[in-house]
């Protein structure tokens, strides 16, 4: 009994409960015919949300006002430049990956430079940089849709023992992030800054260096997500990252990370990502219109957040 009470006291458990409930309702509506397919689709598409959500989680954990709005543009630019460099050749995959990660590194540096040098709020700095990044992506794309190398297309669309490869990649990244957050000095510094930046600085925490590294980490994960998404979808589109702007924030909040900063929750990112995908799938199954889907999705998200917050208070 105590073990169950301990489990249900975890904020991330509610995201998984919600995801499981939506999955069950959807499967019952289809008579169980779509169980395997829905499960694989959920793992696949949730994986991209997980990768960008992990980066956004670190940024939000830094405290109030910290959020990265350049994630969609970073995904698009990284994918576009990587595909242009690879030119559909398997031998250029490693170079393309380096280009994508280099884009993330550059964006992260530029974002924090704007925040630090100009002393403007992160939300304004990253929103401003997103326009520049997206414009660069438009200029470099010029309407061309280059197919990814066949090896990358196969990797991102196939499965291993029934588990999508992209989900396995996202799981590997999640484990690294979990160790970084829970076991490293850097993770403790991020939480300390989010709880009280002034106290952290007085305690000797290199606040500027940690914040710089965090924005770089977020941008690098966004660029990696863009690289994988372009390989999965068969090319880089200029609107490919649009839905991940709000999604990257929603999965952090629903997953149990404190919006006020100071507390991050890695497992909850997975539960929230699966939940958001399954909600859309359920509403599509019922034939709901786009407006109804958006309305009901918002109501359900609010309900999950309220349930989790009440449990934390209790």
Question: What percent of the chain lies above the pLDDT cut of 90?
Answer: 45
| Fold type of domain 44-313 | ABC transporter involved in vitamin B12 uptake, BtuC (1.10.3470)
- Enumerate the domain spans of the chain: 44-313
DSSP code string of 103-170: HHHHHHHHHHHHHHHS---HHHHHHHHHHHHHHHHHHHHTT--PPPPHHHHHHHH-EETTEEHHHHHH
Alpha carbon distances (Å) from 227 to 8, 48, 51, 145, 178? 36, 10, 11, 14, 22
pLDDT in tens, the chain (314 residues): 555 555 555 666 777 777 777 778 777 776 655 677 778 888 899 999 999 999 999 999 998 889 999 999 999 999 999 999 998 899 899 999 999 999 999 999 999 999 988 888 899 999 999 999 988 888 887 656 778 999 999 999 998 888 899 999 999 999 999 999 988 999 999 999 999 888 989 888 999 999 999 999 999 999 999 999 999 988 888 888 888 888 888 888 888 887 778 888 898 899 889 988 888 777 777 676 767 766 776 776 676 666 655 554 44
Q: Cβ distance 94 to 155 under 8 Å?
A: no
pLDDT digits (tens, 9 = 90+) for 88-112: 899 899 999 999 999 999 999 999 9
pLDDT digits (tens, 9 = 90+) for 115-153: 988 888 899 999 999 999 988 888 887 656 778 999 999
d(CA 87, CA 211): 35
d(CA 114, CA 126): 8
């Amino acid at each position: 009994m105590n073990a169950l009470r301990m489990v249900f006291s975890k904020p991330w458990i509610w995201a998984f409960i919600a995801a499981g409930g939506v999955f069950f309702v959807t499967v019952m509506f289809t008579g169980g015919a779509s169980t395997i397919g829905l499960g694989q689709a959920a793992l696949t598409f949730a994986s991209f949300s997980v990768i960008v959500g992990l980066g956004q989680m670190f940024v939000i954990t830094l405290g109030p006002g910290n959020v990265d709005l350049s994630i969609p543009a970073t995904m698009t630019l990284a994918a576009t430049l990587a595909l242009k460099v690879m030119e559909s050749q398997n031998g250029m995959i490693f170079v393309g990956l380096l280009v994508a990660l280099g884009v993330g590194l550059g964006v992260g540096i530029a974002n924090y430079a704007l925040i630090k040098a100009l002393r403007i709020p992160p939300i304004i700095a990253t929103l401003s940089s997103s326009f520049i990044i997206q414009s660069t992506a438009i200029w470099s794309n010029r309407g061309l849709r280059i197919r990814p190398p066949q090896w990358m297309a196969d990797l991102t669309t196939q499965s291993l023992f029934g588990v999508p490869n992209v989900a396995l990649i996202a799981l590997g990244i999640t484990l690294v992030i979990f160790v970084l957050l829970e076991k490293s000095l850097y993770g403790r510094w991020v939480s300390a800054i989010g709880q009280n930046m002034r106290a952290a600085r007085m305690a000797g925490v290199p606040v500027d260096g940690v914040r710089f590294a965090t924005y770089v980490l977020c941008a690098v994960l966004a660029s990696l997500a863009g690289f994988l998404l372009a390989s999965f979808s068969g090319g880089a589109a200029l609107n490919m990252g649009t839905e991940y702007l709000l999604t990257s924030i929603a999965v952090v909040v629903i997953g149990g990370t404190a919006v006020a900063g100071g507390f991050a929750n890695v497992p909850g990112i997975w539960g929230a990502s699966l939940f958001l995908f399954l909600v859309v799938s359920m509403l599509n199954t019922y034939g709901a219109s786009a407006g109804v889907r958006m309305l009901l999705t918002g109501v359900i998200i609010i309900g999950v957040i309220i349930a989790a917050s009440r449990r934390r208070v209790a």
